[in-house]
Amino acid sequence: MKRLTAIAAFGGCLLALPALAQKTASQGIDEYRAMLQDGNPAELFEAKGEDLWKQKRGPKNASLEKCDLGKGPGVVKGAFVELPRFFADTQKVQDLESRLLTCMATLQGFNADEIAKTPFGKGEQNNVTALATWISAESKGMRFNLSQDHASEKVFYEVGKRLFFQRGGPHDFSCASCHGEEGKRIRLQDLPMLTKNPGDGVGFAAWPAYRVSNGQMWGMQQRLNDCYRQQRFPYPGFASDVTIALGVYLGVNAKGAASVAPAIKR
């Protein structure tokens, strides 16, 4: 048998490796991220999502290949960077995940309300996340360009902006408390300023993402849900207008930023 070198990624060991002499904490983290970049487990979810898209499932035993994500039935490439948007068939502004629920309900016969009520990481929610991961990957490197043509899209932007600055909860926090200034961070994580375009692959342009610390794949819905958790707010409903309005606000602000989703996070 030939002698080979095998490198297995042991979670904690990597953190201990880079010597932090003359280096800021965030540079150290950037190095750690660069090491993880090659072999992002998000690829596993991408593969699963692609398979789910083509697979015949649900009470109607149909695939999602006729799902209209805004660029016509079945068109996936480029759809992600134009969401959330207004959809004429549902007469609603929808983000990627709420649109997937619509397609799963109309094409496959799933109960969308039931999926929305399922906790993250359980049952069909895992499938929605995997689908979102694959769909976002199909637009990797493309630039965000959300429409603001329809009146509802403008309303959602304004509502999202209000929500972003709305303070409340036991800590009297708003999204802007953490994301309204440059150079803020939570523990060691730099927080992007989201009231303007934070740049390529930051903030809205970095989700869905795989989180190494807990080995979970998170979509934008879960990202927003967790922001609210950290603010000690009640959780917003999955695919609710609140989360979509925030998505519109963040997405429109990120106009021109290149998407790196699915990304990898600490």
Partner 1 sequence: MADPMRIRAQASGDKATVRVLMSHEMESGQRKDANGKIVPAWFIQEVTALHNEKTVMTAEWGPAVAKNPFLQFSVKGAKAGDKITILWKDNKGDSRKDEATVT
16 lies in the site for partner 1, by CB under 8 A? no
Beta carbons of 162 and 100 less than 8 angstroms apart: no
**Residue 143 backbone phi and psi in degrees, to 5:** -100, 140
Q: Determine the Cα–Cα distance for residues 143 and 265; give it in Å rounded to an integer.
A: 21
- The two structure tokens encoding residue 72: 């016509």
149 to 20, 47, 55, 89: CA distances (angstroms): 49, 34, 34, 17
- The two structure tokens encoding residue 194: 């989201």
Q: In the complex, what is the shortest distance from the CB of residue 161 to partner 1, in angstroms, rounded to a whole number?
A: 37
**Sole binder of partner 1 in the list 16, 22, 39, 91 (CB under 8 A):** 39
186 lies in the site for partner 1, by CB under 8 A? no
Q: Amino acid identity, residue 218?
A: W
Q: In the complex, what is the shortest distance from the CB of residue 149 to partner 1, in angstroms, rounded to a whole number?
A: 39
The terminus-to-terminus CA distance of the chain in angstroms comes to 37
**Sole binder of partner 1 in the list 19, 38, 88, 122 (CB under 8 A):** 38
Interface mask (CB under 8 A) for partner 1, residues 91-110, using x and -?
--------------------
Q: Is 103 one of the catalytic residues?
A: no
Q: Is the peptide bond before 84 cis (omega within 30 degrees of 0)?
A: yes
| Cβ closest to partner 1, residue 42 vs residue 239 | 42
72 lies in the site for partner 1, by CB under 8 A? no
4 lies in the site for partner 1, by CB under 8 A? yes
211 lies in the site for partner 1, by CB under 8 A? no
Beta carbons of 99 and 70 less than 8 angstroms apart: yes
119 lies in the site for partner 1, by CB under 8 A? no
34 lies in the site for partner 1, by CB under 8 A? no
**Sole binder of partner 1 in the list 44, 90, 117, 123 (CB under 8 A):** 44
11 lies in the site for partner 1, by CB under 8 A? yes
Segment contacting partner 1 (CB under 8 A): 36-44, 101-109, 112-120, 139-147? 36-44
Q: Determine the Cα–Cα distance for residues 49 and 3; give it in Å rounded to an integer.
A: 37
Beta carbons of 94 and 84 less than 8 angstroms apart: yes
Beta carbons of 234 and 224 less than 8 angstroms apart: no
Q: In the complex, what is the shortest distance from the CB of residue 196 to partner 1, in angstroms, rounded to a whole number?
A: 35
Q: In the complex, what is the shortest distance from the CB of residue 13 to partner 1, in angstroms, rounded to a whole number?
A: 9
Q: Which residues bind partner 1 (CB under 8 A)?
A: 1-2, 4-11, 38-39, 41, 43-44, 47-48, 215
Q: What amino acid positions are annotated as catalytic residues?
A: 227
